[in-house]
Amino acid sequence: MFFSGLVRQARHTASSSCLLGRWVRKETMNYSNWRSRLQNSAYVTNAILAVTILVFLLETFSGGSTNNSVLVFYGARLNPLILYGQWWRLMTPVFVHIGLMHILVNGFSLYYLGQMTEQLFGHWRFFLLYFISGFAGNVASFAFSPNTLAAGASTAIFGLLGACLMLGDSFKENPVIRQLARQFLLLVGLNLLFNLFSSGIDIFGHIGGLLGGFLAAGMLGAPALGRMGTPRRIASAVTLLFGLGALLFLGFNAG
């Protein structure tokens, strides 16, 4: 009886160990799948989009997204306030939008373009790329459009297009990236042409964002696609910093 009990206990222990092993393997696989999904998901894009939509809703319920006072309150670019010391207005306009059509166009553009570029650059590089582009666009607008109230994510979105153009130039041997860059080059050309003949559009912000994104992509690189040459990365960083410095100098002295 004693030995029989030991055998039954051993079998129970072995069975429990087997079940525990299967549970551990299952949980490990679930964790690995979760990490894989997280790494492959564009959660930075989704987070930026969520904040942008939230700000638009706050604008709407605070007096309307076309009300200048509301736009200024939530961070639109207005040069006299920047000159007064509110330097954050060189960044916050990427979250502020003027009217429903503005948020719809930029929201869909951010969602689709952001999903792709975040996969190409990786999460933290995409984060830096987006906000460097937005900053560059707003600095260009600050320098060359001093008398306008400006807002919108289009400065950063043009930067994402510029980043894809840099990839096309850096990885010409990749046929997919090369073709993608050609399509985006056409899209950029059509958009800028449209800007020239449209009122109320900050073309300097778009051009600044485009160039900022192009140079930021060259500086940050895209390891998922391959190595960028060190001279290109250094040249991109120096040109970006020099350009931003020159635009800030121009903007503050013009004011």
Single pTM value for the model: 0.83
Neighbours of 228 (CB within 10 A): 20
Length of the chain as a residue count = 255
- Are 177 and 191 members of one domain? yes
Cα 224 from Cα 231, distance rounded (Å)? 19
Mean pLDDT of the chain: 86
Cα 176 from Cα 201, distance rounded (Å)? 32
Q: What is the model's pLDDT at position 45?
A: 97
Q: Are the C-beta atoms of residues 159 and 206 closer than 8 Å to each other?
A: no
Cα 250 from Cα 247, distance rounded (Å)? 5
- Are 109 and 187 members of one domain? yes
Q: Give me the helix-helix angle, 154-170 and 123-144, nearest 10°.
A: 120
Report which secondary-structure segment, H or E, holds 79. Answer: helix 79-83
Q: What is the model's pLDDT at position 237?
A: 97
- Are 62 and 103 members of one domain? yes
- Are 53 and 169 members of one domain? yes
Distances (CA, A) of 243 to 16, 75, 119, 218: 66, 24, 28, 14
- By three-state DSSP, how is residue 153 classified? coil
Q: Is the pLDDT of residue 79 over 80?
A: yes
Residues designated catalytic: 154, 206
- Are 24 and 78 members of one domain? no
Encode pLDDT of 84-123 as tens digits.
Answer: 999 999 999 999 999 999 999 999 999 999 999 999 999 9
Encode pLDDT of 156-184 as tens digits.
Answer: 999 999 999 999 998 988 888 889 899 98
Q: Is the pLDDT of residue 218 over 70?
A: yes
Q: What is the model's pLDDT at position 225?
A: 86
Which letter does DSSP use for residue 228 in this model? P
Contacts of 16 (CB under 8 A, 6+ apart): none
Which letter does DSSP use for residue 150 in this model? B
**What is the arithmetic mean of pLDDT over 54-82?**
97
**What is the arithmetic mean of pLDDT over 204-220?**
97
- Are 28 and 62 members of one domain? no
Q: What is the model's pLDDT at position 228?
A: 86
- The residue segments making up the domain with residue 139 are 42-254
CA atoms within 13 A on the CB side of 244: 18
Total domain count, the chain: 2
